[in-house]
Amino acid sequence: MTMNPQRVLFVCLGNICRSPQAEGIFAQLVAQAGLSQWISCDSAGTSDYHIDELPDPRTRDVSLRNGLTLQHRSRQVQAADLDDFDWVIAMDQSNLAALQRLAGGQRRRLSRIHLLRSFDPQSPDLDVPDPWAGGAGGFDRVYAICLHGCLGLLPQVAARVRAAPKPT
Ligand code: 4NP
């Protein structure tokens, strides 16, 4: 069977809380599924507020408690990312709108952009709430929300790995 490698980019505002959290969780699920050879992931922010920083200490803390060491350095999302990544996963509707503007009206780019929580059939809400200005509890909540979104996303990405390539 021909395999189609898939690239997944998680995007939030600062790229220090929600999107590196989702990236780390997704990479762990991909590894547990034995698909690391076929699915790669990264994260980025719509802003340039925290370029080259490690994730927020509160994000790293909840990650460590769940067996994840995050080493991502924050970067700003570029229009070229919408060409390079097969899946561009926004954490909230504001990130979604920023990515849609960045797509410059190109249908192929727009079709790659999704909301993380749209992959969680149990989710009562569309947004992963921004935890940055709140307390530590918000980071535990973000972890759980990202886990549920990633659990829904993985089968869809994995199905694309195994699907026959579309004619271009
Ligand atoms: P994130 O959280 O978008 O989940 O990384 C934030 C981090 C920093 C800021 C806002 C949100 N900030 O305004 O600096």
Q: What integer pLDDT is reported at residue 79 of this predicted model?
A: 98
User: 51-87 burial string, b = 16+ CB within 10 Å, else e?
Assistant: eebebbebbbebbeeeebebebebbebeeebbeebbb
Residue 77, in any domain of the structure: yes
Q: Catalytic annotation on 92? A: no
Residue 150, in any domain of the structure: yes
Output the residue whose Cα is nearest ligand 1's atom 13: 14
The string of pLDDT tens digits covering residues 90-119 is: 999 999 999 999 999 999 999 999 999 999
DSSP summary character for residue 118: G
Q: Catalytic annotation on 12? A: yes
Residue 168, in any domain of the structure: no
**16 CA to centre of ligand 1 in angstroms:** 6
The string of pLDDT tens digits covering residues 113-154 is: 999 999 999 999 999 999 999 998 999 999 999 999 999 999
Asked whether the predicted pLDDT for residue 165 surpasses 80, the reply is no
Quickly tell me which residue has 């709430």 as its tokens. Answer: 129
Residue 167, in any domain of the structure: no
Task: Give 100: exposed, middle or buried? Use CB within 10 Å, 0-12, 13-18, 19+.
Answer: middle
Asked whether the predicted pLDDT for residue 168 surpasses 70, the reply is no
Strands (E), the chain: 6-12, 39-45, 87-90, 113-115
Indicate which residue of 81, 120, 127, 130 is catalytic.
130
Q: Which of 10, 16, 46, 59 to mutate to test the pocket of ligand 1 (most atoms within 8 A of CB)?
A: 16
Query: Pairing mode, if any, of strands 39-45 and 6-12?
Result: parallel
CATH code of the domain containing 10: 3.40.50.2300
Helix H or strand E segment including 145: helix 137-162
Residue 81, in any domain of the structure: yes
The string of pLDDT tens digits covering residues 7-60 is: 999 999 999 999 999 999 999 999 999 999 999 999 999 999 999 999 999 999
With pLDDT > 90 as the criterion, what percentage of the chain qualifies?
95
Q: Which domain holds residue 111?
A: 6-162
- Give residues with Cβ within 8 angstroms of 103, minimum separation 6: 79, 82, 109, 110, 113
Residue 134, in any domain of the structure: yes
Asked whether the predicted pLDDT for residue 166 surpasses 70, the reply is no
pTM over 0.75: yes
Q: What integer pLDDT is reported at residue 104 of this predicted model?
A: 97
Number of domains within the chain: 1
Q: What integer pLDDT is reported at residue 2 of this predicted model?
A: 86
What Å distances lie between residue 105 and 11, 47, 114, 145, CA to CA?
Answer: 19, 20, 16, 30
